Structure 1
Amino acid sequence: MKRCTIFTFYHCLQPNTHHSNVGIFPHCLRFFFFRGYLSQRSFALGSTNTRPFPDYSPKRPTIRDSEIVHQISTAIKLRCSEPLRHTLKPFESKFRPDHLIWVLMDIRSDYRLVLDFFDWACLRREPNLEARCIVVQISVAAKDLKTAHGLIHDFWAKPNLDASIAFTHFVERLIYTYKDWSSDPHVFDIFFQVLVEARKLNEARKLFEKLLNYGLVISVDSCNLYLSRLSNTCDGLRMVVKSFTEFPELGICWNTASYNIMIHCLCHFGKIKEAHLLLLQMELRGCSPDVVSFSTMINGYCYLGELQRVLKLIEEMQIKGLKPNPYTYNSIVRLLCKTSKVVEAETILREMMNQGIVPDNVIYTTLIDGFCKMGNVAAAYRLFDEMRDLNIIPDLLTYTAIICGFCLTGKMVEAKKLFHEMLGRGLEPDEIVYTALIDGYCKAASSEPYCNIYTYNSIVNGLCKAGNILQAVKLMEDMEVAGFHPDTFTYTTIMDAYCKSGEMVKAHELLRDMLDKGLQPSVVTFNVLMNGFCMSGMIEDGEKLLKWMLEKGLKPNAATYNPLIKQHCLRNDMRTTAKIYKGMCAQGITPDGNTYNILLQGHCKARNMKEAWFLHKEMVQKGFNLTTSSYNALIKGFLKRKKYLEARELFEEMRRGGLVADREIYYFFVDINFEEGNTEITLELCDAAIECYLVGKATDENK
């Protein structure tokens, strides 16, 4: 792509001027770069009107208080390996909130002692805001930014907190303690990040502006976080553009990640040409576009179906030595399949693989769906086999595409086989799958004198999945008229629908009707009822059902116990949870992966991290996989306990498994690797976070 000269660049910014390649930017951004340059110069020159930080002057202790403070300070300094709670037991009845700050003044040089003493004090009484801010300042001065973040986050995570009042008090105390306790501006950066993460965006902006009075500017990385959160608000585009324009006037120098966020936001709101112009302007502002910049832009043009623009962008990437990533290829393949160029899309897949880039589930699913829609199910199934050979696990969308393809071409035997394979993998069929099966079976049955029981059951199942229970019940009645008697599967299917909609009385009526007709319920039938009881909060009824099953000699399975275990975990009743689990094992019933994940998350919620860690090890040994929720719960639990080695091990294990951690976990490990000087890993994690939570979001929404 030919590079713009300064003249043509300026020309494309003018109002009422059309540019064939990129279009016109909104007025508020047209002069952003000219204004930004001047404003940064004026900011760099500095202002002589900055306000000094206040001196810290706490109230003085009485003679009696001074004696108590001295005794406490001496006791904890002289302790050996004895726990602090034992050392300070004689002082518990005398200890008051004011003593906390005075003791901190005595022991501030011993950081570990400060944290231990603060934790001890917190167990007795909630510390006042001044004490919390002092410990935050000490943590930042000790370069322990994680602890500082946690201390601020814990305050803002309190329920029913009045954000406006809390912000005023917190920022006042943080400014008041700043000069004497830390003088490290990172403390305000961390506070800004916590406000943004807690979606207190108005308060974050107020903090940004307040700090300008003291001559401090929030870091560009924190401002990037602010931009990305703004893009998710109801007035996202306007607010992001406004901040992107104004912040350079206040001293922020945007980086490549900033532009990527802005490009993504513009594309997300359909401003593709404006996003392209911003991509061109990056280099003129000294920021080199990276693979994320181009991939986001390519995805935007793919969404519009503009293949020629996409090809030009790929050519420009190659000129700059940037290697397309799977996200780039996914966008192109999706566009080609959308325009019925499926053969060409497969060529892109082969080119991608020749370059050593391993395709993912998304690209294969897109191609399989494309071939199926063209009626070439053989090619689709070839790709389906290929992805399994490469150990790329098909998901619900993959199975849906190939099953629909077989149903469309009347190959119901193959469709049925894949349907059961999908169920065996624990995937829940959706309305699309059932609709395809119903349609396929109806077409297959049109040449026969009547439909079989399997066909009826498939249609009943599909109707229930679609939420049309009344029609499913009517069809069950029609089966009787046609000479086909509903079986256990028929009843269980409708009972499941009633249970999921909370209509337990009707589910009970069906069970009685089923028993009256001499049909023997299966373990699946009881599992459906158990799940219904637990979902409706009727745990006692669920426990009675389990007891009745055992008395009747009906052997439950893990799926019977899982809903009960989950409900007790949600209620934080781990004692009853353990009792049920032991009873399950005593019956010779082997826990499944779902059992382990439920227990693990329950123990993390109850802060039983040793038990959770043991369960994790046991799961891995038995070949079960942790879910994303389980990994997130474990990692967050260990981070709260300051068990950073265990948290890091789990985070790396999670990433190796292709799972995406929560944002705050990414933020933590980005920061910790940056502090440790691991630049390569830091950049890798930043790229991963951007692709997952900025670019990745656009991918999901455009599927």
Structure 2
Amino acid sequence: MKKGTTFAFRNFTQLFTLRSSLNARNLSTRPFPDYSPKRPSVRDTELVHQIANVIKLRRAEPLRRSLKPYECKFKTDHLIWVLMKIRSDYGLVLDFFEWARSRRDSTLEALCIVAHLAVACKDLEAARSMIRSFWERPKLSVADSFVQFFDLLVYTYKDWGSDPNVFDVFFQVLVEFGMLREARKVFEKMLNYGLVLSVDSCNLYLDRLSKESDEKAARVVGVFREFPEVGVCWNVASYNIVIHCVCRLGRVSEAHHLLVLMELKGYTPDVVSYSTVINGYCRFGELEKVWKLIKVMREKGLKPNSYTYGSIILWLCRSCKLDEAEEVFREMIRQGIVPDTVVYTTLIDGFCKGGNIRAASKLFHEMLSLDIAPDVLTYTAIISGFCRIGDMVEAGKLFHEMLCRGLEPDTVTFTEVINGYCKAGQMKDAFSVHNHMVQAGCSPNVVTYTTLIDGLCKEGDLDSANDLLHEMWKIGLQPNLFTYNSIVNGLCKAGNIEEAIKLVGEFEAAGLKPDTFTYTTLMDAYCKAGEMAKAQEILKEMLGRGLEPSVVTFNVLMNGFCLNGMLEDGEKLLNWMLAKGIAPNATTYNSLVKQYCIRDNLKAATSIYKDMCSREVGPDGKTYENLIRGHCKARNMKEAWFLYRGMVEKGFSVSASTYSALIKGFFKRKKFVEAREVFEQMKREGLAADKEILDFFSDSKYKGRRKTDTVVDPVDEIIENYLVDEELKEAN
């Protein structure tokens, strides 16, 4: 027999044995025992009689006052005897029980008795609270106390309540405390007495089991098949729990089969049933099956809800298909389904991560106009979006608005804002938010501290960064590799490469292995210091450790070759990358383009530019700026102007230095109209011209030109406006 067949046979045998055992128990039930408590002495009988009478006759008074004379004589044993006298008055039972256990530890037997009386009076919440209180107190052995508790519930059942719901409550508390093994034993023990748990209790067990580890959650289907054998009648909620669990385990086809089976068994699937399977298919990107299920839903008169569409939108956002996600969102609205906060937050977060902050902001204001209240996650998403693009003014406003709405930021929100300020170089604001975070009782985590340390290192404040590192240790937070990499980067930027190497050795000795970023940072430092041999040694060490270099690693090396005049080595590196299938990006090419332009070798620069375009590597703003400046320097204004127009059409921002290069180039070629046009565009962009540019316009030799040249017609106005702008800047 094959191994797989043997395993399946063993499982079937075990299941058959269990079912047979359960059925056997169901057929031969045992009776509940008679209750026979300890008998009181004559003296105890008298005291119990007095206490019971006082409780009944003086019920309007607080028990602490009416029973004051009996406190010193009252013992634990008296509790059950008094309960026997007042059991018909449930209100008195509760009051007396609370009075008694506030003065003496009540016995587990007494607790079971009161739980029975509470259930008999339909006060299930009180019974649940009493049973829960037992599990909340320290105990020596969970297993022993569980057996003892169950046995006493059985022992007191016949004479104190005879309501099987008490076992439901007991079972539910066990499930609530995660005692699933003990809960299963209760289920089996009850079968011995001919009792079956309610479907609600069994659903609670299924639900909790489905949220356990994958190994334990896999048992849900087995339980779902076994329990009906002993009388449990599942309902739609039961099927929904199992479908959700199976989807969570990635078995969506099986979940879909359960959906079909559910209907064949006479149950009517609801919106939750379909939406759960739809969510499962969305996780695997099977949208064709999703739309088919939605069609089936509508045919059955079920209307997809916000959760149904939300699953589709979430998958599309995670797949960066934001236009499709918004189209589904609009279709949802056309169907008359009002999106909830979760759906809006999903879309806002998707657009923010995709860099389209304008679309995210529009959605955020749309939800506000519809009175759909944003929550902490919504604000965190939109704030994070503005932080990413460096708009800390808007991010700060939203953060303040969030606080005014009474929403408490969590660690993620605070850290995002701190990170935004750090990247913007606004360390004072970053620490202000950090202080607010601490005062609000929200503990900064490793990411928060690493963000602050990274910001300080980039500002060159290594002493403060080191202080924060020691503060982390002091409060018990273990710095991670990102923390150390930030400090290594700071040391390298400060030119202290040897100290950076020493730190790498220290954190490696502590068990943290340097990664690609660590080595790339060290290489960059050596390249900028002109020590190319050492940079290449670092690369060899990195490769020797089995670490995969990134494009950034090669870009660092390329930049080093170019900075140190080793252009031939740079081209060799580029060709090696291409031969190895490592795709260079615009930054890789830019280093070569820039250096060839500086050396006035525009033929080589243009060749590199054409090569990158032929390989479908899109030029970025730096590529255009390098080429424009190179052509301007060589007075090739036709080529420079062509590149400038292409740069603008592609949406790249033009820097003041590039505008200046164009103006100077046009002036040198006596193209005054074009120079004036570029200058006006520069002013419209809010960029200030340098003194040399103004000298071009104010030079007297241009003022005497004929009117047709009109470049310098309003020269005085140009200079006056520029000077006014500069004075305003200085005043601010």
TM-score normalised to structure 2 length: 0.55
Is 1:422 paired with 2:399? yes
Larger Rg: 2
CA displacement 1:88-108 (0-9 Å, x = unmatched):
122222222222111111111
**Which 4+ stretches in 1 moved above 6 angstroms?**
436-439, 455-464, 493-498
2-side partners of 1:305 and 1:131: how far apart?
A: 57
What's the offset of the Cα at 1:225?
0.8
Which of the numbers 435, 450, 464 marks the counterpart of 1:467?
A: 450
Percent identical pairs in the alignment equals: 52
* Residues 298, 328 of structure 1: 8 Å contact kept: yes
Displacement of 1:388: 2.2
1:473-530: CA deviations, max 9, x gaps? 44444599xxxxxxxxxx7x998886666469xxxxxxxxxxxxxxxxxxxxxxxxxx
Deviation of 1:176 (Å): 0.6
1:325 and 2:305 matched:
yes
> Residue type matched to 1:142 in 2?
C
Q: Indicate which of 243, 246, 254 corresponds to 1:263.
A: 243
Q: Distance in 1 between matches of 2:137 and 2:372?
A: 42
Native 8 Å contact 2:422 2:452 kept in 1: no
Q: What residue is the counterpart of 1:194 in the other structure?
A: 173
2:208 maps to 1:229:
yes
Question: Structure 2 matches for 1:440-451, cutoff 5 A?
Answer: none
Given the superposition, is the C-alpha separation of residues 164 and 370 from structure 1 closer, same or farther in structure 2, using an over 3 Å criterion?
Answer: closer
What pairs with 1:239-638 in structure 2 (closer than 5 Å)? Answer: 239-395=219-375, 397-399=377-379, 401-402=381-382, 412-413=390-391, 415-423=392-400, 425-426=402-403, 427=409, 429=413, 454=426, 465=448, 467=450, 471-477=454-460, 502=474
- Closer/same/farther in 2, CA of residues 222 and 88 from structure 1, 3 Å limit: same
Deviation at 1:126, TM superposition (A): 0.9
| 1:553-579 deviation digits (Å, cap 9, x = unpaired) | xxxxxxxxxxxxxxxxxxxxxxxxxxx
Larger RCO, structure (CA 8 Å, separation 6 or more): 1
Contact conserved, 1:53 with 1:175, CA < 8 A, in 2? yes
CA shift, 1:211, in A, is 0.9
In structure 2, the CA distance between the partners of 1:468 and 1:357, relative to structure 1 (3 Å rule), is closer
Match of 2:91 in 1: 112
CA distance in 2, matches of 1:318, 1:266: 24
Could you say which residue in structure 1 is the equivalent of 2:599? none
Task: Using the TM superposition, give the Cα deviation of residue 331 of structure 1 relative to its aligned residue in structure 2, in angstroms.
Answer: 0.5
| Separation (CA, whole Å) in 1 of partners of 2:427 and 2:122 | 67
Q: 2-side partners of 1:166 and 1:248: how far apart? A: 29
1:389 is displaced (CA, Å) by: 1.8
* Counterpart secondary structure, 2:450: coil
- Give 1:345's aligned amino acid: A
Which residue of structure 1 lines up, in the alignment, with residue 633 of structure 2? none
Task: Give the counterpart letter for 1:353 in structure 2.
Answer: I
For the 8 Å contact 2:414–2:433, the answer to whether it is kept is no
Q: Tell me if structure 1 keeps the 8 A contact 2:349–2:360.
A: yes
Q: 1:158 and 1:307 mapped to 2: Cα distance? A: 51
- 1:305 alignment partner, SS class: coil
Pick aligned residue for 1:238 from 201, 205, 218: 218
Could you say what secondary structure the match of 2:126 adopts?
A: helix
Kept in 2, the 8 Å contact 1:256–1:287? The answer is yes
Q: Would the alpha carbon gap of residues 158 and 392 (structure 1) be closer, same or farther in structure 2, given more than 3 Å must change?
A: same
Q: In the alignment, does 2:118 pair up with 1:135?
A: no
Three-state SS of the structure 1 residue aligned to 2:131 is helix
Label 1:98 to 1:459 Cα distance change in 2 as closer, same or farther (>3 A): closer
Q: Distance in 1 between matches of 2:103 and 2:418?
A: 58
C-alpha distance in 2, partners of 1:199/1:272? 27
CA apart distance, 1:435: 5.7
Alignment partners' CA distance in 2, 1:280 and 1:464? 47
Cα drift, residue 154 of structure 1: 0.7
CA distance in 2, matches of 1:396, 1:406: 16
Distance 2:296 2:37 in 1: 62
Distance 1:194 1:460, change over 3 A: closer
Residue by residue over 1:644-679, the C-alpha shift from the partner in whole angstroms, topping out at 9 and shown as x without a partner, is xxxxxxxxxxxxxxxxxxxxxxxxxxxxxxxxxxxx
Give yes or no for the alignment of 1:162 onto 2:110: no
Query: Aligned to 2:40, which of 37, 61, 72?
Result: 61
Q: Distance in 1 between matches of 2:366 and 2:77?
A: 69
- The residue number in structure 1 matching 2:82 is 103
Q: Secondary structure at the match of 1:314?
A: helix
| Cα RMSD, aligned residues only | 3.7
For the 8 Å contact 2:419–2:451, the answer to whether it is kept is: no
Deviation at 1:138, TM superposition (A): 1.1
Amino acid at match of 1:287: Y
Structure 1 distance, partners of 2:170, 2:323, is 53
Contact kept in structure 1, 2:419 and 2:430, CA below 8 Å = no
Deviating more after overlay: 385-394 vs 150-159? 385-394
Judge conservation of contact 1:133–1:174 (CA < 8 Å) in 2: yes
The SS at the match of 1:425 is: helix
C-alpha contact 1:291 1:325 (8 A) present in aligned 2: yes
Q: Distance in 2 between matches of 1:469 and 1:295?
A: 43
Shift of 1:246: 1.8
**In 2, Cα distance between equivalents of 1:133 and 1:374:** 59
Deviation of 1:242 after TM superposition, in Å, equals 2.5
Instruction: Identify unmatched segments of 5+ residues in structure 2.
Output: 404-408, 435-445, 477-732
Whole-angstrom distance in 2 between the partners of 1:51 and 1:393? 57
Distance in 2 of aligned mates of 1:331 and 1:434: 31
Asked if structure 1 preserves the Cα contact closer than 8 Å seen for 2:26 and 2:191, the reply is: no
2:255 maps to amino acid: A
Deviations 1:286-307 (A, max 9, x none): 2221111111111111111110
* CA distance in structure 1 between the aligned counterparts of 2:455 and 2:320, rounded to whole angstroms: 37
Native 8 Å contact 1:368 1:383 kept in 2: yes
Residues 460 and 476 in structure 1, CA contact (< 8 A), matched pair in contact too: no
How many Å separate the matches in 1 of 2:466 and 2:370?
39
Whether the 8 Å CA contact 1:39–1:248 is kept in 2: the answer is no
| Residue 353 of structure 1, CA deviation | 2.9
In the alignment, does 2:103 pair up with 1:124?
Answer: yes
What's 2:601 paired with? Answer: none
**Whole-angstrom distance in 1 between the partners of 2:333 and 2:374:** 18
Partner of 2:29 in structure 1?
50
CA contact 1:399–1:418 (8 Å) conserved in 2: no
Q: Which moved more, 1:397-406 or 1:71-80?
A: 397-406
User: Aligned partner of 1:305: which letter?
Assistant: G
Show the 5 A alignment for 1:679-698.
Answer: none
Change (3 A) 1:401 1:163: closer
SS in 2 for 1:135: helix
SS in 2 for 1:218: coil
Q: Is the 8 A contact 1:456 1:479 kept in 2?
A: no
| Deviation (angstroms), 1:396 | 5.4
SS at match of 2:347: helix
| Rounded Cα–Cα distance in structure 2 between residues aligned with 1:92 and 1:193 | 35
Using the TM superposition, give the Cα deviation of residue 366 of structure 1 relative to its aligned residue in structure 2, in angstroms: 2.4
**Structure 1: distance between partners of 2:269 and 2:324:** 28
User: How far 1:372 sits from its partner (Å)?
Assistant: 4.3
CA distance in 2: counterparts of 1:386 and 1:128, whole angstroms: 60
Equivalent residue for 1:185? 164
Taking the aligned partners of 1:121 and 1:348, their CA distance within structure 2 comes to: 62
Q: 1:53 to 1:367 in 2, by over 3 A?
A: same
Match for 1:421: what amino acid? L
Gaps (5+ residues) in structure 1?
Answer: 1-15, 17-25, 442-452, 481-490, 505-703
